[in-house]
Amino acid sequence: MTSNKRVCILYTGGTIGMVPTEFGYAPKKDYFNTLLNQIHQMKSPALPSWDVVEFDPLLDSSNIAIDEWNNIGRAIAERYEEYDGFVVLHGTDTMSYTASALSFMLEGLNKPVVFTGAQIPLCELRSDGRDNLINSIIIAGEGIIREVCVYFGGKLLRANRSTKIASKELQAFDSPDYPALAEVRIDICYNESAMSLPSRPKTFHFTELQSFPIGVLKLFPGFQFELFEGMINSNLKAVVLEAFGSGNIPTNNRALVDGIRKSAENGTIITVTSQCQRGGTTLGTYATSNDLVESGAISASDMTTEAAIAKLYYLFSCGYDTDRVKLLMETNLRGEMNDVV
């Protein structure tokens, strides 16, 4: 069977196209097409036809941040009508951050944007990149999914629910608190019930992000607030506070509690995520979250830290005031969370 679909591959870097160098694996300019030409399945008429856009510079994803998110979003927006779907080749290290950000930046998306990559480069015999790439192109061409997602090691995940869970396994990603959108077995089995999304505009709209001062603070037993005071009391627009369990903090640590309260009074949005992979935060369940409730901190519900950071950048970039950002942080916009009840 011949496919009449068209897929655009945006190659940003990452292990998939890397080569060994004296300093370790690194991307190599103008080399990716050579690698693709060695994969005979890439020439199959059953595969959607594809074009590659190679980014310059190619990056290890540790070096990817807001400018690159904008470049990826712009590249998709400029070609949106031309293709049935998009595959973004990206390093695995920060893939969930970028994919989460794109899920907010691309509003009203009506076709698949599939992030993938590899744990072993294509130039190596046992690369997982071939399967990841080919399945991602097929999923992008099929057009069943209409959102940003991550395909890796047989699973298609909602982007803003995904997280990198393994640095040495081929199943490197999971969405611990949300079912997979599809599983690739002999057939590609889509999970219809997981594919529902909050209502969205009919027209596609791309929002560029700007940089804002946002912090992430992970609590641990024995946390010495004095060491972090400079950070939390500076002019941060938001702090993602990775708290214990359902959103609890050591309330006997008065320096911490007072610091959070002061920072909230100064207008910093305290967004509370959970260190647990499943279930998220429900502030007010325990007395050890009461100080957070009283200081006006908001619950990130079951959002991942990656999604919470991306969403904060997005909402600030939309120009919303503090109250609106707080309200929307507790509202499910792109399937990233259960609404806070």
Asked whether position 119 contacts ligand ASP by CB under 6 A, the answer is yes
Beta-ladder partners of 53: 10
Q: Which stretch binds ligand ASP (CB under 6 A): 55-63, 77-85, 204-212, 333-341?
A: 55-63
Q: How far is the CB of 15 from ligand ASP (least distance, A)?
A: 3
| Torsion 250-255-257-260 (CA) sign | negative
Q: How far is the CB of 148 from ligand ASP (least distance, A)?
A: 18
Q: Choose which of 54, 68, 84, 93 interacts with ligand ASP (CB under 6 A).
A: 93
Continuous segment of H or E residues that includes residue 54: strand 49-59
50 by DSSP, 3-state: which?
strand
Asked whether position 60 contacts ligand ASP by CB under 6 A, the answer is yes
Length of the chain as a residue count: 341
Q: How far is the CB of 96 from ligand ASP (least distance, A)?
A: 11
Q: Which is nearer to ligand ASP, 48 or 117 (CB)?
A: 117
Judged by CB under 6 A, the chain residues 14 through 43 that form the site for ligand ASP are: 14-15
| Torsion 42-164-17-9 (CA) sign | positive
Q: How far is the CB of 31 from ligand ASP (least distance, A)?
A: 15
CA atoms within 13 A on the CB side of 200: 20
Q: Which residue is listed with tokens 């057939």?
A: 187
Task: Give every CB contact of residue 114 below 8 A, 6+ residues apart in sequence.
Answer: 85, 86, 87, 88, 136, 139, 140, 145, 149, 150, 151, 156
Q: Which is nearer to ligand ASP, 91 or 247 (CB)?
A: 91
The greatest distance separating any two alpha carbons of the chain, rounded to the nearest whole angstrom, comes to 67
The answer to whether 92 is a known catalytic residue is no
Q: Give the residue among 238, 232, 263 at the shortest CA–CA distance from 313.
A: 238
Catalytic residue among 12, 15, 116, 268: 15
Q: How far is the CB of 174 from ligand ASP (least distance, A)?
A: 15
Q: Assign residue 214 a region (left: φ > 0; alpha: ψ between -120 and 50; beta: otherwise).
A: beta
Give the amino acid at 17: G
Q: Which stretch binds ligand ASP (CB under 6 A): 45-53, 58-66, 255-263, 315-323?
A: 58-66
Q: Which is nearer to ligand ASP, 15 or 263 (CB)?
A: 15
Q: Which is nearer to ligand ASP, 9 or 232 (CB)?
A: 9
Catalogue the active-site residues. Answer: 15
Q: Which residues contact ligand ASP by CB under 6 A?
A: 13-15, 60-62, 91-93, 117, 119
